[in-house]
Amino acid sequence: METKRTFLAIALAFLILVGWQYFFVPPVETPVPEQSATENSQQESAAILPVEAGASLVQDETVPAPEAGAPQGRDITIETSLYTAVITESGGGVKSFKLKNYNEALDPESGLKELIKTQAVRELPLFFTWGIEPTRAVVPTFTADREHVSTSFGGTSTLTLTAPLASGLELTRILTFSDQDYKIDMAVEVRNTTQQSYQGAPFLSLVNNPFSVNSKSDRFLFNGPAVYLENVLEETKVDDIIEDGPKTMSGRISWVAYESTYFMCGIIPENPAGNSVTLSSLGDTKVSTVISAPVDILASGESKTYQYGIYFGPKKLSILKTTSPDLHRIVNFGWFDVMAKPALYLLNFFYKYVGNYGLAIILVTVLIKGLFWPISHKGMKSMKTMQKLQPKMTKLREKYKDDKERLNKEMIELYKTYKVNPLGGCLPMVLQIPVFFALYKVLLQTIELRHAPFMLWITDLSAPDRLFIGFDLPFLGGLPVLTLLMGASMFMQQKMTPNTAANPEMARVMMFMPVVFTFLFLNFASGLVLYWFVNNLLSMAQQYVINRQVD
């Protein structure tokens, strides 16, 4: 096996892994007309049927048009140190949820990050129904116990909303907000005020649109509904839901969520056992996620309370781990998870001391390079020795070109004489592949790098590297200085690396690799380009030392 051929295979594998990202374009949302249902009392009464009648919960699926002048509930504002939220009395859903520590874009004037991208009352997150699915239920008008909720530093505050239903049931929603916590505790009490018994199941829905329409990171990575079912992360592509129709999953559901690269909206049921979740499409990008529990029977005068944890916020591991035992599983590094999370830990560890994620990336790169230095040193030295043997190997191939068995025997003797391993050059590289891809995943999707500045023109390590020079370059906008430096360093490294390829065509192909990688990295996050550039510089320094030793 020739080292150069192996390197080419590795490079092509990298291209296959990330090249698909350039062909994914998020579709344009098709608006769905808003439907109000505060008016359809007959439908709701038919939805929750008395147990004595022996009837099942079968409802008319037709939702009538809204009545003119239907009463509208108030908007209740919630203020904490971490977010500003708005909950409407019309249905009790979340109308707005803005994160105070994150902006929509790098521009400070872009405003706070908004996680709610739906407008219809029925489609607002946390719409709760009992005995009837949310798409067919009447939207109740709640009465809140206050118009504004604010938390003191480190404290908690509650909001209580009550609504009588035409069926005779009464809903009471109690939400508890913590000042220094993204998690919201929600308890929903369903009380039967009638003289008869009812049976029904609770439904809590999330309807989401993508948090960012033009985000490159959301195009590159998964963006859609996720369910943690039976200790396994299930991520379902929106296109699959559109093509295959609604998807239902049942079992031990620890949480359901809608996620992007950096943010999520999630529901955590207090009792994960025996739940069901249904995913369905409401348009080109709009997804409905409905979680339900087993059917309950409410006798006359009886009540049942359902407990949920609500998490609307960043996908930051340190926060998710303290919120719920399994919630951190939503940060998915794939096959490289075992190595990616330690790399993220190192990134945050160095950041504590240097206060700059660009410098932290450099220090992590130096540390990883240092750990692999002995292995890389041995491999590079082997390649240098192999280069010196090329003339002898060429002569042997010419001499025994018609006798492959004798050629192999002579080659082995040559390796033994000069104490060289033909696989010594590629083995260190193969060992470093998992580490590289783990760090690649971390730098591509960790929220710590979102809008994190490095120095000079690099003001966002999660965005492509661009230096604006007074006018826009075609297809680029600004000049990708760091990317060009990375390509140049890769070219110089290739010049310094011994050429062990016996095939001249292979050598010519390898000369194009710096160009290919430069174009490939043009739209990559500058944090990833920085890692690759620093790694190239360290490899060049190591190769320089080896070349002097062997020569």
Q: In the predicted model, is pLDDT for residue 410 greater than 60?
A: yes
Residues 347, 353, 357, 362: what is their CA dihedral angle, to the nearest 10 degrees? -70
pTM of the model: 0.79
Cβ pair 525, 218 in contact under 8 A: no
pLDDT of amino acid 425: 54
Range 389-402 average pLDDT: 68
In the sheet that holds 143-144, the strands lie side by side as 143-144, 156-164, 169-178, 183-192, 303-314, 263-269, 253-259, 224-229, 232-235
CA angle at 10 for the pair 414 and 20, rounded to the nearest 5°: 165
Q: 236-250: per-residue pLDDT in tens?
A: 998 889 988 899 999
108 pLDDT band, cuts 50/70/90, is confident
27 pLDDT band, cuts 50/70/90, is very low
Helix (H) or strand (E) holding 387: helix 373-399
444 pLDDT band, cuts 50/70/90, is confident
Q: What share of the chain has pLDDT > 90, as a percent?
A: 36
pLDDT of amino acid 371: 80
Higher pLDDT, 498 or 230: 230
Q: In the predicted model, is pLDDT for residue 176 greater than 50?
A: yes
Q: In the predicted model, is pLDDT for residue 433 greater than 80?
A: no
Cβ pair 174, 166 in contact under 8 A: no
- The DSSP annotation for 328-355 comes to GGGS--GGGHHHHHHHHHHHHHHHHHHS
Q: 349-383: per-residue pLDDT in tens?
A: 999 999 999 999 999 989 988 887 776 666 666 66
R_g of the chain, CA atoms, integer Å? 30
Cβ pair 142, 173 in contact under 8 A: yes
pLDDT of amino acid 497: 67
Range 260-275 average pLDDT: 92
Q: How would you classify residue 335: left for phi > 0, otherwise alpha for psi between -120 and 50, otherwise beta?
A: alpha
392 pLDDT band, cuts 50/70/90, is low
Q: In the predicted model, is pLDDT for residue 314 greater than 90?
A: yes
When the pLDDT of each residue in the chain is averaged and rounded to a whole number, the result is 79
Q: In the predicted model, is pLDDT for residue 104 greater than 80?
A: yes
Q: In the predicted model, is pLDDT for residue 385 greater than 60?
A: yes
pLDDT of amino acid 189: 95
Range 196-225 average pLDDT: 81
pLDDT of amino acid 106: 84
CA distances 201 to 57, 63, 140, Å, are 10, 20, 17
> By 3-state DSSP, what share of the chain in percent is helix, strand and coil, each rounded to 5?
40, 25, 35
Higher pLDDT, 451 or 14: 451
Range 539-549 average pLDDT: 74
Q: In the predicted model, is pLDDT for residue 28 greater than 80?
A: no
Q: Three-state SS for 128?
A: strand
Can you read off the two tokens belonging to residue 165?
Answer: 């239903």
Q: In the predicted model, is pLDDT for residue 502 greater than 70?
A: no
Q: In the predicted model, is pLDDT for residue 14 greater than 70?
A: no
150 pLDDT band, cuts 50/70/90, is very high
Helix (H) or strand (E) holding 275: strand 275-281
